[in-house]
């Protein structure tokens, strides 16, 4: 992957091998007027070529970013769609930090049709990870979910005087089997009560 940009334009080139075919993407975008929380944006075309085909498929490329935020949208008709959206406040090592990321993608190729999604968020306060959520899913060519995950961690103070807090972890995993096997679903739930001042914990 090669990407370069300056004050006026952004260009890029990517290559990947898929089932013995080389798929290339060329990006040609110009600086546009950023709005809202974004301080810079580039908008233009992306051309995807498979093998030695000449013209390829042309789509749209749109990227914007600012302090602690970024988004990307790519659309190529009858080929793919990709969306990325991210925001965060503070730094990961800070006592207070929050972040949220959403990614969705769709492939419309006959031999590789499907979609995926990812959503993740974290909240850190006074050095403690109070909330962590991660969700993801894969969809097959028939529009059915083949894999889905949902992981959540939540922590909250239950008694400020004693420093007691409650930590809860939920894990949900679903996997679609083939016609000869059953679908699998796994669920885990962990609840933990801790008292920081006494150094004791109740599970």
pTM, to two decimals: 0.79
In the Cβ-directed half-sphere of 79, how many Cα atoms lie within 13 Å? 17
CA distance 187 to 171: 6
Buried b (16+ CB within 10 A) or exposed e, 42-68: bbbebbbbeeeeeebbebebbbbbeee
pLDDT by residue, tens only, the chain of 203 residues: 688 888 899 999 888 877 667 888 899 999 999 999 999 999 999 998 877 666 688 999 999 999 999 999 999 988 889 999 999 999 988 999 999 999 999 988 766 788 999 999 999 988 888 899 999 998 887 777 788 899 988 887 666 666 666 788 888 888 775 555 556 666 766 666 555 544 444 44
Q: Which domain holds residue 22?
A: 1-77
CA distance 13 to 47: 10
197 and 151 belong to one structural domain: yes
202 and 103 belong to one structural domain: yes
- Closest among 171, 152, 166, 172 to 203, alpha carbons compared: 166
171 and 104 belong to one structural domain: yes
Cβ neighbourhood burial of 27 (10 Å; 0-12, 13-18, 19+): buried
Report the number of distinct structural domains present in the chain: 2
66 and 90 belong to one structural domain: no
- Residue finishing a domain among 49, 77, 105: 77
Q: What six digits make up the tokens of 131?
A: 């909330």
């Amino acid at each position: 992957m090669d990407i370069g940009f300056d004050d006026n334009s952004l260009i890029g080139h990517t290559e990947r091998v898929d089932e013995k075919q080389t798929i290339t993407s060329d990006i040609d975008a110009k600086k546009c007027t950023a709005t809202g929380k974004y301080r810079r944006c580039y908008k233009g075309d992306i051309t995807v070529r498979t093998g030695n085909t000449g013209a390829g498929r042309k789509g749209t490329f749109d990227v914007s970013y600012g302090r602690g935020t970024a988004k990307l949208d790519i659309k190529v008709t009858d080929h793919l769609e990709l969306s990325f959206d991210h925001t965060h406040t503070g730094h990961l090592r800070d006592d207070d930090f929050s972040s949220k990321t959403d990614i969705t993608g769709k492939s419309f190729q006959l031999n590789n049709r499907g979609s995926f999604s990812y959503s993740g968020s974290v909240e850190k306060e006074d050095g403690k990870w109070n909330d962590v959520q991660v969700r993801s899913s894969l969809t097959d060519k028939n529009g059915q979910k083949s894999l889905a995950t949902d992981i959540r961690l939540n922590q909250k103070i239950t008694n400020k005087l004693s420093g007691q807090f409650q930590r809860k972890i939920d894990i949900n995993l679903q996997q679609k089997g083939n016609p000869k096997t059953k679908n699998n679903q796994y669920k885990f739930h962990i609840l933990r009560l801790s008292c920081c001042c006494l150094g004791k914990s109740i599970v």
